[in-house]
């Protein structure tokens, strides 16, 4: 058996089965323990996000960044190529019902990410340079007292996001621009690596300033394009929603018996891609939420929930564009195939499906639109993921030289990645992404009493007495 085969098999078991149950189960647990906090506190969370919104907030420093800068940095990491390719992958392989299960994963993910933000705020600290830091490695060591598990997490996330993950993002940018605009790979690689170097060398100050301006702007730009496409496909929006809900529980009713897609497949793919898109429970976003300057941990917890909600909107609109364009093209082609998915046959997978859906409305400009969107999404992800990795470099290495050395390694990797074949790199990125989840989920489950006490002010032994929880205003 080849290495590729073994890697694919292990990755399938890890992501499609083990982590789906662990991540979704953790979200369900916290939804129960916190009494549906993502519903009860949604209005307050939205009001907090709006109140904190600013494209030019107070400059970040060693003591942290503003709450909005923190959520922008978190969203920068969450909104990447997965938000453009993920819905397409899930819908093509699992049918339109997969989008429903992506919604389910986002709903429970809001409770999980609230817990991550609470723990990140509670166990944050300062490193030897006086820089405020926090994240899973810190709450695993300080909260659980298991340093070896914290070290494992730190190693996994540096490899998964800071090095391998960012190489994948860089390669995606170069490939998209070469295909859509015929820009030579070396030019894109050079520009991206220089821009990354410019941002990260300035540390937390530059990273915060970058994300608070670019993330809201790129989200608005992409959402506007998606809304225009849906406006052109308006007559297919209601049928698309009906198709999504029906296919979630009865795929054959929508796709026909020959589609070969079962409920379990739609559910598994939708939840897995949803979790991968919003990163709830993966241990990445807590690094940003840890350094937010807020009065109480709960305040940042609410903001963190809104990050998952924003990502959910982007995923939803991407999915709707794909489904409505697919129905439109399928009907126009007068195909007697019972599944609208047949319209996408021969148009690749993932991001190329998304590009094709936009090209149906915008023509060749659709491909350029996705290429530009991909540039901003992937570049912001590189910045967000770099910051998460740097935090863990600070955790592992006490030397002041560690960060500059890592910056050099990261920039060189980003440049070189544009020229390599990334199939194996993608698999390695998914593998280490999955491995880093395990220590974080362990901490989330074992530190659940701390999250509940920080939120309610009550002792853990009162949790089974849900009536007592209801007597307190939380």
pLDDT tens for each residue of 231-275: 998 898 998 999 899 888 877 666 665 555 667 777 777 777 777
> Sorting pLDDT into bands at 50, 70 and 90, what band is 466?
very low
Q: Could you tell me if residue 355 is inside a domain?
A: no
pLDDT at position 20, please?
81
Q: Could you tell me if residue 7 is inside a domain?
A: no
Mean pLDDT within 408-434: 80
pLDDT at position 473, please?
38
| Cβ(360)–Cβ(325) below 8 Å | yes
Higher pLDDT, 113 or 357: 113
> Sorting pLDDT into bands at 50, 70 and 90, what band is 409?
very high
Q: What is the pLDDT of residues 80-105, one digit of tens each?
A: 777 887 788 888 877 888 889 889 99
Alpha helices in 233-262 (DSSP H): 237-249, 251-255
| Cβ(26)–Cβ(445) below 8 Å | yes
pLDDT at position 347, please?
66
Report CA torsion sign: 457, 458, 463, 466: negative
Question: Range with the lowest mean pLDDT among 8-17, 60-69, 459-468?
Answer: 459-468
Q: Could you tell me if residue 346 is inside a domain?
A: no
Question: Range with the lowest mean pLDDT among 2-16, 164-178, 366-380, 388-402?
Answer: 2-16
Q: How many domains does the chain have?
A: 1
pLDDT at position 377, please?
86
Q: Could you tell me if residue 295 is inside a domain?
A: yes
Higher pLDDT, 342 or 283: 283
> Sorting pLDDT into bands at 50, 70 and 90, what band is 141?
very high
Mean pLDDT within 206-213: 85
- Start-to-end C-alpha separation, the chain: 55
Looking at the chain, the whole-number percentage of residues with pLDDT higher than 70 is: 88
> Sorting pLDDT into bands at 50, 70 and 90, what band is 337?
low
| Cβ(280)–Cβ(113) below 8 Å | yes
Q: Could you tell me if residue 325 is inside a domain?
A: yes
3-state secondary structure of 292: strand
3-state secondary structure of 65: strand
- Distances in whole angstroms, Cα of residue 118 to Cα of each of 71, 300, 375, 401, 414: 14, 7, 32, 31, 32
Higher pLDDT, 306 or 179: 306
Q: At what angle do helices 81-94 and 364-396 cross, to 10 degrees?
A: 110
Between CA 225 and CA 91 the distance in angstroms is 20
Q: Could you tell me if residue 354 is inside a domain?
A: no
pLDDT at position 103, please?
92
- Does pLDDT of 106 surpass 60? yes
3-state secondary structure of 61: strand
76 HSE (CA, 13 A, CB side): 33
- Does pLDDT of 465 surpass 80? no
Between CA 412 and CA 190 the distance in angstroms is 10
459 HSE (CA, 13 A, CB side): 2
Which distant-in-sequence residues (6+ apart) come within 8 Å of 74 by Cβ? 284, 285, 288, 289, 304, 307, 384
> Sorting pLDDT into bands at 50, 70 and 90, what band is 471?
very low
Mean pLDDT within 38-53: 89
Question: Range with the lowest mean pLDDT among 20-24, 268-272, 315-319, 410-414?
Answer: 268-272
What is this structure's pTM?
Answer: 0.89
Q: How is 361-424 classified by DSSP, letter by letter?
A: HHTHHHHHHHHHHHHHHHHHHHHHHHHHHHHHHHHH--STTHHHHHHHHHHHHHHHHTTS--HH
Q: Could you tell me if residue 450 is inside a domain?
A: yes
Q: Containing domain of residue 248, as a range?
A: 14-51+65-332+360-455
Mean pLDDT within 280-308: 91
pLDDT at position 146, please?
94
Q: Could you tell me if residue 59 is inside a domain?
A: no
Mean pLDDT within 112-138: 92
Mean pLDDT within 175-186: 79
**Average confidence score pLDDT of the chain:** 83
> Sorting pLDDT into bands at 50, 70 and 90, what band is 182?
confident
Whichever domain contains 324, its CATH number is 1.20.1740.10
pLDDT at position 78, please?
81
The candidate with the shortest Cα–Cα distance to 226, out of 347, 244, 216, 218, is 218
């Amino acid at each position: 058996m080849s290495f590729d085969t073994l890697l694919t098999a292990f990755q399938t078991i890890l992501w499609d089965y083990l982590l789906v149950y662990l991540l979704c189960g953790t979200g369900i647990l916290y939804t129960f323990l916190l009494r549906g906090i993502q519903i009860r506190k949604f209005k307050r969370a939205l009001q907090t996000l709006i109140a904190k919104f600013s494209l030019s907030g107070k400059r970040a420093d060693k003591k942290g960044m503003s709450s909005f800068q923190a959520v922008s940095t978190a969203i920068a990491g969450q909104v990447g190529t997965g938000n453009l390719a993920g819905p397409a992958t899930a819908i093509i392989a699992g049918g339109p019902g997969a989008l429903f299960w992506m919604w389910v994963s986002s709903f429970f993910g809001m409770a999980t990410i609230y817990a991550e933000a609470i723990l990140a705020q509670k166990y944050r600290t300062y490193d030897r340079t006086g820089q405020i830091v926090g994240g899973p490695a810190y709450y695993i060591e300080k909260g659980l007292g298991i340093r070896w598990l914290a070290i494992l997490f730190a190693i996994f996330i540096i490899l998964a996001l800071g090095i391998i993950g960012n190489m994948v993002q860089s390669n995606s940018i170069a490939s998209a621009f070469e295909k859509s605009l015929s820009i030579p790979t070396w030019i894109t690689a050079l520009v991206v690596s220089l821009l990354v170097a410019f941002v990260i060398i300035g540390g937390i100050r530059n990273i915060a300033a970058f994300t608070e301006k670019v993330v809201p702007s790129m989200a608005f730009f992409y959402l506007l394009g998606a809304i225009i496409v849906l406006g052109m496909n308006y007559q297919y929006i209601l049928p698309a929603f009906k198709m999504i809900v029906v296919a979630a529980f009865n795929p054959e009713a929508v796709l026909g018996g020959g589609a070969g897609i079962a409920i379990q497949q739609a559910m598994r793919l939708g939840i897995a891609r949803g979790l991968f898109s919003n990163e709830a429970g993966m241990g990445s976003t807590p690094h940003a939420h840890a350094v937010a300057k807020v009065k109480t941990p709960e305040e940042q917890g609410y903001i963190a929930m809104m990050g998952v909600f924003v990502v959910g909107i982007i995923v939803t609109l991407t999915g709707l564009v794909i489904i409505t364009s697919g129905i439109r093209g399928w009907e126009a082609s007068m195909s007697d195939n019972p599944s609208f998915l047949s319209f996408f046959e021969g148009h690749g997978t993932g991001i190329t499906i998304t590009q094709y859906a936009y090209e149906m409305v915008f023509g060749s400009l659709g491909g350029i639109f996705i290429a530009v969107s991909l540039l901003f999404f992937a570049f912001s992800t590189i910045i967000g993921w770099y910051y998460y990795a740097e935090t863990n470099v600070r955790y592992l290495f006490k030397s002041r030289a560690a960060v500059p050395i890592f910056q050099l390694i990261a920039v060189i990797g980003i440049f070189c990645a544009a020229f390599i074949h990334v199939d194996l790199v993608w698999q390695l990125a998914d593998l280490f992404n999955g491995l880093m989840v395990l220590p974080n989920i362990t901490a989330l489950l074992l530190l659940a009493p701390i999250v509940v006490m920080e939120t309610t002010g009550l002792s853990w032994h009162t949790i089974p007495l849900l009536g007592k929880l209801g007597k307190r205003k939380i």
